[in-house]
Amino acid sequence: MRFLCAFPEAMSSSNSRPSACLAWVALILALLLQFSLSSQAGDRRPLPVDRAAGLKEKTLILLDVSTKNPVRTVNENFLSLQLDPSIIHDGWLDFLKKEGDIVRSDVALDKQKGCKIAQHPDIMLELQREKAAQMHLVLLKEQFSNTYSNLILTARSLDKLYNFADCSGLHLIFALNALRRNPNNSWNSSSALSLLKYSASKKYNISWELGNEPNNYRTMHGRAVNGSQLGKDYIQLKSLLQPIRIYSRASLYGPNIGRPRKNVIALLDGFMKVAGSTVDAVTWQHCYIDGRVVKVMDFLKTRLLDTLSDQIRKIQKVVNTYTPGKKIWLEGMVTTSAGGTNNLSDSYAAGFLWLNTLGMLANQGIDVVIRHSFFDHGYNHLVDQNFNPLPDYWLSLLYKRLIGPKVLAVHVAGLQRKPRPGRVIRDKLRIYAHCTNHHNHNYVRGSITLFIINLHRSRKKIKLAGTLRDKLVHQYLLQPYGQEGLKSKSVQLNGQPLVMVDDGTLPELKPRPLRAGRTLVIPPVTMGFYVVKNVNALACRYR
């Protein structure tokens, strides 16, 4: 079982609530904006610039964007989130309450009165954090031993889970257990049918998936399932859903395969041949680095950043062979495996992989990306165990506020170097462009947002040309904050540290206005967003 949810669509004020979203369990976003997120700035100083001796700045880069038509349009909930199911056993769902009482299975959700976060004593919060730390050690032991404990979801847990999602205005997608098998290795759907009937009796609006990383079933559970059989299992699940009125048109996603190596591609091929038309989107997972051997400079390697592009093409080739145009989701994305690496996976440096992933996926037509995860055990999450936002949280929040679903083509001059024979040029300056999020009322429709990654150890100068020439620009430059440099778990926006105003209020994300016609100066080893105002781009005027 896995839980995921979509990031809030737009948050124009510092403490506004998330809108409807899409992906697995909607647990996380309520946490995102409503849980206590205390943070102290402390004694931190900006990251000093480390310039390599003899490294000179290159020629001025000219940048233009095609504004007539988008090259892609991705899902409104493109950036989504995941939460590990172990969160249920740790009691975090009990922090949701309605009208002074913790939500329980025998309490009907009162949408007129709504829900709010319980104000639990500090001692209870400390106990929860201790339990979370203990569970983290248990999960790490499971990962290294390939021995996993079972998770049993009770009716009460499902009630709390769904109430949590519904109360937060989020959509729930639930992954059923695919490992219950009959003697002939077909899926045993008896417990799933009981869950479906119970959910239907409660009128729960849920979408569905079956299993997780089926390519690893033999290694992790001693029983392999090939693609053809998995396809038959999905058809069986569809047949269970159709007679249930509330789920007759429910969305179904899968098969959630792992990294597309040869055997995994064979599994996907078998699945698509049998059940490609059964699913609403094809899903797979990606991990960049082995978390046990990662180093900070790994996050800056362009060769590593580009590994995702090849995987996308492999998945698309199989999907388009059987169901041309079928939506594809990157359902589980982590920077580092094995739970991540402390002070690296949760640091500013990891943001380069994350932001480049968002740009590359949208450019290549992937409809949704689901980030692992908002909060769980390990170091790949967006908030720490005290619910303090980590660098990728702020990066994701800015992305959701500023970036819309329409992808625009970028044209540059002065960036590419002529490759030597046998050498591939991998850009250390990466520029992506979208229509500005139309939910963001600070910008009129027709505005364009660029996001730029500079992996060079020297600053880069970009001159806006063509349709972007002489336009006002709002800069949102993210840099590490503190003496840890790239390993910092704190960030600054345009030179100001980002910290929570109080336990329930996000800081105002203030842009730095740049005068019309000014050259954009991108500091070394940084990333940022640049809203080009009032472009009146035809591609961005309408939804």
Same domain assignment for residues 379 and 464? no
Q: Is the dihedral of CA 291, 305, 404, 282 positive or negative?
A: negative
At residue 41, the pLDDT reads: 33
Q: Which of 369, 385, 407 finishes a domain?
A: 407
What pLDDT score does 65 carry?
96
d(CA 238, CA 243) in angstroms, rounded, equals 9
Mean local confidence (pLDDT), 87-97: 56
345 and 414 in one domain?
no
The domain boundary residue, chosen from 407, 439, 471: 407
Contact 512, 473 (CB under 8 A): no
Q: Please give the single-letter amino acid code of residue 516.
A: A
Residue 255 shares a structural domain with residue 165: yes
Mean predicted confidence (pLDDT) in 275-291: 90
- Write the DSSP assignment of 6-74 as a string of letters: EPPS---STTPPP----SS-THHHHHHHHS-------S--BPPP-PPTT----PPEEEEE--SS-SEE-
Strand order in the sheet with 252-257: 3-6, 79-83, 368-372, 327-336, 281-289, 252-257, 206-210, 172-176
Give the integer Cα–Cα distance in Å for 78 and 437: 12
Question: Rounded mean pLDDT of 401-405?
Answer: 98
Q: Which residue has the higher pLDDT, 184 or 414?
A: 184
Judge whether 119 lies within some domain. Answer: yes
Q: Do the Cβ atoms of 315 and 331 come closer than 8 Å? A: no
* Full-model pTM: 0.83
Q: How confident is the model at residue 244 (pLDDT cuts 50, 70, 90)?
A: very high
Identify which has the larger pLDDT, 145 or 317.
317
pLDDT of residue 456: 94
Same domain as 460, residue 440: yes
Q: Give domain status of residue 167, yes or no.
A: yes
Structure tokens at 435: 């229509």
Q: Can you give the CATH number for the domain in which 263 is found?
A: 3.20.20.80
At residue 402 the predicted structure's pLDDT band, cuts being 50, 70 and 90, is: very high
Most confident of the following: 88-92, 344-348, 442-446: 442-446
* Residue 57 clears pLDDT 60, i.e. is over it: no
Q: What is the pLDDT of residues 102-111, one digit of tens each?
A: 333 333 344 4
Mean of pLDDT values over 220-229: 88
Q: What residue spans of 202-306 are helical by DSSP H?
A: 217-221, 227-241, 262-275, 302-305
Which residues contact residue 131 at a Cβ distance below 8 angstroms, ignoring those fewer than 6 apart?
90, 91
Supply the pLDDT for residue 46.
Answer: 36
Among 20-24, 50-54, 436-440, 503-507, the least confident range: 20-24
- Residue range 41-66: average pLDDT? 55
Residue 437 DSSP code: P
One domain for residues 119 and 186: yes
- What is the model's pLDDT at position 129? 63
Residue 395 Cα distances to 355, 386, 416, 517, angstroms = 8, 19, 27, 26
Q: For the residues 474-484, what does the mean pLDDT come to? A: 96
Residue 476 has φ and ψ, to the nearest 5°, of: -125, 85
- Domain of 195 in residue numbering reads as 76-407
Mean pLDDT (whole number) for 275-286: 96
* Share in percent of the chain as helix, strand, coil (round to 5): 30, 25, 45
Total domain count, the chain? 2
Evaluate whether residue 159 is within a structural domain.
yes
Tell me the pLDDT tens digit for each residue of 122-140. 665 666 666 666 666 666 6
Domain closes at, from 364, 385, 407? 407
Handedness of CA 127, 128, 131, 136 (dihedral sign): negative
In order of 46, 312, 388, 392, 429, the CA distances from 376 in angstroms are 29, 27, 13, 15, 32
- Min mean pLDDT across 227-241, 336-350, 495-509, 519-533 is at 336-350
Mean pLDDT of the chain: 80
